[in-house]
Structure 1
Amino acid sequence: MNSRPTIQSPIPMPDLPKLSPITSTWMKELMGKSLLISELIEKHGSPINIHQPDAMEDNFISYHKVFKDFGLKHKIFFARKANKTKGVVRKANSIGMGIDTASLQEYQQCIEMGLDPSDLIVTAAVKNKKLVESAVKNGSLIILDNSDECELVQRVAMDQERSVDIAFRVSGFLAKDQKLYSRFGFDIDEIEDFITANLLDSDHFNLLNYKGLHFHLNGYSIQERGIALTQCLALAQKLLDKRMKTEFIDIGGGFLMNYLESELEWDYFNQQLRLAVGNKREEITFENQGLGLHMSGGVLLGQLKTYPFWSPVTKGEFLRGILSSQSQSGKMAGTLAKEMGIEIRMEPGRSMLDQVGLTIAKVAFRKKDQKGNWLIGLEMNMTQMLSGSADFLLDPYVIYQNKKAQAEPVEVYFTGAYCLERDILLKRKIALTQLPNVSDFVVFVNTAGYMMHFFESSAHLFPLATNLIWNRKSGDFEIT
């Protein structure tokens, strides 16, 4: 059970919880240009995704500084799956990042854009023959997940008469006397024997050039990532004793970012959600959905199944926590990696896109349902702002075409265009200063990381949202 403390605030909190998003200057500037937004929606349809990739620089620096503090050789790869636009890939490449590709299409597009194949890695969960052929031909490193992939890569390398750089994804790390389960990767307790049997004691995989180890953990635990890193370092030492050098360890992604201005608002929302699900106050989510919480036998069970939208330790400081983890020798993991001459790699996605994008949708209708709730229908669908999180817990902005001086506040739900009862864009009830009119605009900020594209579909033959990059200096917008 996930309990939170009682909120004792010197500032009176509103009855309906607010979750105020951190909003960058460029976003506020754009939202002040209602006529321009109207023109963009008229030209490209609703919704539109607008990006400002320059914001990636600060996110990159946050990580780079920590590596520099540790004196570590490092390489940062942008997790391409977090956003499909070419503009963010170009920006990542221009500031010195590699690109982590998770499909044939992602990989080929990077090649077509002229990126150096040595700056690309292939981490796809399923690697078909065409993807492997392309990666081997171009000389990009492939992260191998299982023995069948090893066989496939070996056959392709034989066909092309060339060797290929590879790393092994590992999992099953021991934390608090229990193995961390993952469906991905080789078990860390078995990979040493596998490497010994197939790369050292035989030439079975003679065309696979071992370069390093890779892991990617579910969730957002600094401690578990630190444990994984220290256990990979121990494995690297065992391999070195067998004269097999580990050049790098890739610690994957899942580095937290913070979306919200106020920890107090976050705690108050959590408190009020628990009260609502427990039927101790009126609902604050559509049909009183618990977002992971539920009542059973009069007892509140479960935990919030959303991204932790408020987090005090993020980006570079999150990385610092991992590198500061203590190894069995008593040394920090980052210090030990430096002494062993091992490069540390990482693959941030969401956190590299903090403050990079927003989504704007047009109001199509307003109506009251049978319960008296205001429903605001938008010209977008739920897949156009969707991730693995049970909800996107940020308050949106509304751009009113006719802002009233003395308006009546209203509480609303935003609904989408799919013919599904569950197409509720935000599960939370949102407090607004006035009821939006048809053709007003609703702005969801900080959506570039996973929210825009990861689950976007074109059911009903709806077109996918247009993705734009805004050049603030020229005022131009480029489709990306």
Structure 2
Amino acid sequence: MLISQQVLERPVAGVRPFALTALRHPKVSTLLADHRVLLADLLDGLGSPLHVVLPEVFEENVARLRQAFAESGATADILFAKKANKAGCYVRSAAALGIGVDVASAPELVKALAGGVPGHRIGISGPEKDDALLALAVQHGCLVAVASVSELRRLAATARTAGRQASVLLRARTAGQSGSRFGLSPAERTAAVGLCGELADHVRLRGFSFHLGGYSAAERAAAANEMIEHCLDARRRGCPTAELVDIGGGLPVRYVDPRLWSEFLAQNEPAHYHADKHFKDFYPYGGQTAVEAVRAIMAHPVDGAESLSAKAARTGIRFLVEPGRALLDQTGFTLFRVQQVDDRRATDGYAILTVAGSSFCLSEQWFNSDYLPDPLLLSPGPAADEVFPACVAGSTCLESDLVTWRKIGFPRPVRRGDHLVYLNTAGYQMDSNESPFHDAALPLKAALWLGDGDGPPRWRLDGI
């Protein structure tokens, strides 16, 4: 049974100050309600912070996304963007479900192959890939997104040496991206298509891709439509296998209830953060879901009236999509142990909790932003009459090492040894920016399976 977004638990606004409560998948709710002892034992035994990953939820997300494309009338192949999380369990799930993986380095490619994903289901992205990555890609029949004419020539030479034909996507700049460092300009794209025809014994042009920031369905649909036109032009110029349009990732995730998110934005101000910290931008935590975005992109009218999916079907175009965060929605959370409480309520009005770990373990700081969904106090204890306001600091010597700058209203005073849980951290938060600063060990990941719920959860260290 597919899990609908509507079954996620929704918080009630105004329960306590600073409340921005994260949505929870039922499996996450079950773990937090019924298996706290197991989670505490794992944290104590494996160290703080500890990342818990849930491949069963990943598999549900794949099914939901597949269904969204099918219901939109589009033919689409899914490539999981491995950069969003390094956990091997997600790659193994991708292999079992028959979806692909998008990688951008030789180590990522090796891990995808080792996880059971065949080469023809692996996409290689990234600008100006090195010779070792190109050689591996050719050897295993991967689909290579080429971003320059020089890279295309190097790939063709690699394929010639290997006695193989490389599968190629040409990564093109969209009409509104003249200043982008990614992709081929119109003149370069024209030259690259001609070169694919000249080097047809060594490269096979499969289609086009693009890089696009942000979450605008209209912009992504317009860019995809440009790529369809590029495919049609390439066919006319002697490349009949140009049939793929890679729309990239950029599918949003909803972390909190949209109404609560709107209320947060309306009242947000620097006084709500440690040291009156000011942030210019946040991830749209209460925006669209990935399924809603897919429907909007595929239904968007192009060329005046026809929907993008209808035009693709009419012209024999298949889509590729490279979701990372969207497939990792609700598939993991992060546990921290509190190792100090600096209660400054009498002077500053809030406390500073220092946890075993650092802000490198949640990567939103990388984007000069704050991870906004409230951390939960996992350790048991009766609620107090008033909330306990506190921000959360890391245990490094850096003044800026704040895991959460925002002052959180905890239901009771937090104590040394308590456990905090940050929800929905699998997508880009867990390990995009991790660091062995101070010679600290990198956090471990524990993969958990709840199964049908009749027995206790199974777990193992990821990668073991």
TM-score when normalising by structure 2: 0.90
Look up the SS of the partner of 1:310 in the other structure. coil
Q: Against the structure 1 CA distance between its residues 251 and 12, is the aligned structure 2 distance closer, same or farther, given a 3 Å change threshold?
A: closer
Residue 386 of structure 1 pairs with residue 363 of structure 2: yes
The one of 179, 183, 187 equivalent to 1:185 is 183
Give the secondary structure class of the aligned counterpart of 1:355.
Answer: coil
Matched, 1:291 2:291: no
- 2:317 is matched with 342
**Please, which moves more after superposition, 318-327 or 333-342?**
318-327
Stretch moving more, 90-99 or 56-65: 56-65
Q: Match of 2:202?
A: 207
Q: Is the 8 A contact 1:286 1:429 kept in 2?
A: yes
Query: Contact 2:273–2:406 (CA<8 Å) still a contact in 1?
Result: yes
Paired residue for 1:254? 250
1:459 paired with 2:422, answer: no
Displacement after TM superposition at 1:34 (Å): 3.1
Matched, 1:87 2:65: no
C-alpha offsets along residues 274-333 of structure 1, whole Å, 9 cap, x if unaligned?
Answer: xx34xxxxx1012222211xxxxxxxxxxxx1110001x321221121122222263111
After TM superposition, list the pairs within 5 Å mapping 1:44-193 onto structure 2.
44-174=46-176, 179=177, 181-187=179-185, 189-193=186-190
Separation (CA, whole Å) in 2 of partners of 1:476 and 1:15: 35
Q: Gapped runs of 5+ residues in structure 1? A: 1-10, 278-282, 293-304
CA distance in 1, matches of 2:214, 2:311: 25
1:361 corresponds to which residue? 336
Identity of aligned residues (%): 25
Deviations 1:162-201 (A, max 9, x none): 2211111112324xxxx464321112x224421344233x
Return the letter of the residue paired with 1:90: R
Amino acid in the other structure paired with 2:448: W
- Would the aligned equivalents of 1:59 and 1:315 in 2 still touch at CA under 8 Å? no
Any idea what SS the aligned residue of 2:211 has?
Answer: coil
Contact map agreement 1:230 1:326 (CA 8 A) in 2: no
Asked if the contact 2:208–2:230 (Cα under 8 Å) also holds between the matched residues in 1, the reply is: no
2:246 is aligned with 1:269: no
Counterpart of 1:220 in structure 2 is 215
Aligned partners of 1:158 and 1:69: how far apart in 2? 42
User: Residue type of the partner of 2:155?
Assistant: V
| Distance in 2 between residues matched to 1:230 and 1:125, nearest whole Å | 23
Shift of the 15–329 alpha-carbon distance from structure 1 to 2, 3 Å rule, reads closer
Give the TM-score, by structure 1 length. 0.87
- Point out where structure 2 has 5 or more consecutive residues left out of the alignment: 1-11
Corresponding residue to 2:376 among 372, 397, 404: 397
- Report deviation, 1:51: 1.3
Q: 1:378 to 1:56 in 2, by over 3 A?
A: same
Aligned to 1:194: 191
Other-structure match for 1:24: 25
Number of corresponding residues: 441
* Structure 2 Cα separation of the partners of residues 210 and 405 of structure 1: 62
The CA distance in 2 between the partners of 1:183 and 1:382, in whole Å, is 29
CA separation of 1:153/1:91 partners in 2, compared to 1, >3 Å: closer, same or farther?
same
SS of aligned partner of 1:186: coil
Aligned-partner Cα distance in 2 for 1:25–1:73: 30
Structure 1 residue identity aligned to 2:371: F
- Alpha-carbon distance in 1 for matches of 2:429, 2:383: 34
1:477 is matched with which residue? 459
Output the amino acid matched with 2:284.
P
Shift of 1:124: 2.9
What's the CA shift string for 1:127-162, capped at 9, x where partnerless?
211111111111111111112221221222222122
1:229 and 1:465, CA in 2 relative to 1: closer, same or farther beyond 3 A?
same
The answer to whether the 8 A contact 1:212-1:247 is kept is yes
Distance 2:170 2:251 in 1: 21
Q: Which amino acid aligns with 2:416?
A: V
Alignment deviations for residues 26-85 of structure 1 (CA, whole Å, 9 cap, x no partner): 222222333222321222111111111111233223322232224332201111111101
Report the AA paired with residue 252 of structure 1.
G
Runs of 4+ in 1 over 6 A off after TM superposition: none
1:376 matches 2:353 = yes
* TM-aligned CA deviation for residue 15 of structure 1: 7.7
- Whole-Å separation in 2 of the counterparts to 1:192 and 1:125: 15
- Is the 1:76–1:98 contact (alpha carbons within 8 Å) kept by the matching residues of 2? yes
Matched, 1:447 2:425: yes
In structure 2, relative to structure 1, the CA distance for the partners of 1:425 and 1:196 (3 Å cut) is closer
Following the alignment from structure 1 to structure 2, what is the Cα–Cα distance between the partners of residues 471 and 14? 32
How far has the Cα of 1:242 moved from its partner? 1.9
User: In terms of mean alpha carbon deviation, does 450-459 or 92-101 score higher?
Assistant: 92-101
Conserved in 1, the CA contact under 8 Å of 2:350 and 2:388?
no
**AA aligned opposite 1:86:** G
Counterpart of 1:44, as a letter, is L
1:229 counterpart SS class: helix
Matches within 5 A, 1:394-433: 394-401=373-380, 403-404=381-382, 406=384, 408-433=386-411
Distance 1:69 1:408 in 2: 48
Of 93-102 and 406-415, the range deviating more from structure 2:
406-415
Q: CA RMSD in A?
A: 2.0
Q: Which residue of 2 aligns with 1:309?
A: 285
